[in-house]
Structure 1
Amino acid sequence: MGFILKFLLTAVITYLLAAFLPGSHIGGFTDALLLVIVLGILNAVLKPILKLLGLPITILTLGLFLLVINAAIVMIADALLSGFAVDGFISALLFSVVLSVVTAVVDMVVD
């Protein structure tokens, strides 16, 4: 039950973030559900590979390169989904940072 609740809350959060953040657009709640699924798959499959490849840069930047990896994941999700769009790298970076922070807070409250 907790997984379904977190999934739905994350979809609501992504829908609201895309509606309120400048530079990010989403078609509807169904697109938000699809975005959560795609982001979950990309974070599980592609993100570890990108983190491993970018390890030297991540060490040099004291971890700030991980923000670039998160923005890249959001931009890849933008390319895969027709109902979600970000206007550029800065918008993807802002979307990924706010989504991460709000999702972490929701996860602490739900758990």
Structure 2
Amino acid sequence: MNFLKGLLIRLAITALAFWLATLLIPGIRLESDSVTQTIITLILVAAIFGVVNAVLQPVIKTVGCGFYLLTLGLIALVVNGLLFLLTSWIAEQAGLAFEVDGFWPAAVLGALFVSVVTWILGAVLDRD
């Protein structure tokens, strides 16, 4: 039960971070007709982002370990931006109204923003 509660809290936090990103970062848009549709879209995009990160990030870090060491971890900005773009592409293929204009600056700043906001809100709200 605690696992499910934690998962739902993280999903809500990520959805909130995506909503804030659509408001603050140029090039990231969410166009919907109603509040309900916006909330559903944000939750689905957050779920897609979570799955993309859970599946691909460990593989990329393992395969690209040398690049992470060589760039002192700065390659993570590029990887996270590309994963953010992939999330946008998957959302578009699924018929969701979430769009990211391109890699720079929208995807990189969006990924950085969502990561920071989810980290801060997760530290505040996800206390057991």
1:67 alignment partner in structure 2: 77
Name the counterpart of 1:43. 53
User: Which residues of 2 match residues 64-103 of structure 1 at below 5 A?
Assistant: 64-82=74-92, 83-90=97-104, 91-103=106-118
Larger radius of gyration: 2
Shift of 1:78: 1.0
Give the drift of 1:16. 2.0
The answer for the alignment partner of 1:52 in structure 2 is 62
C-alpha displacement of 1:62? 0.3
Deviations 1:54-100 (A, max 9, x none): 21111110000011111111011111112211111121000000111
Aligned residue pairs, count: 111
- Using the size of structure 1 for normalisation, the TM-score is 0.91
The 4+ residue runs of structure 1 with deviation greater than 3 A are none
Alignment partners' CA distance in 2, 1:38 and 1:4: 14
**Is the Cα–Cα contact under 8 Å of residues 23 and 87 in structure 1 kept in the other structure?**
yes
| CA–CA separation in structure 2 for the residues paired with 1:57 and 1:9 | 30
TM-score by length of 2: 0.80
- Indicate if the aligned counterparts of 1:42 and 1:73 stay in contact, CA closer than 8 A: yes
1:17-65 CA distance string (max 9 Å, x none): 1122111112322211111100110111111111122211111100000
Q: Please tell me the root mean square deviation across aligned C-alpha atoms, in Å.
A: 1.3
Q: Which runs of 5 or more structure 2 residues have no equivalent in the other structure?
A: 32-37
> Identity of counterpart residues, as a percentage?
32
Q: CA deviation at 1:13?
A: 2.0
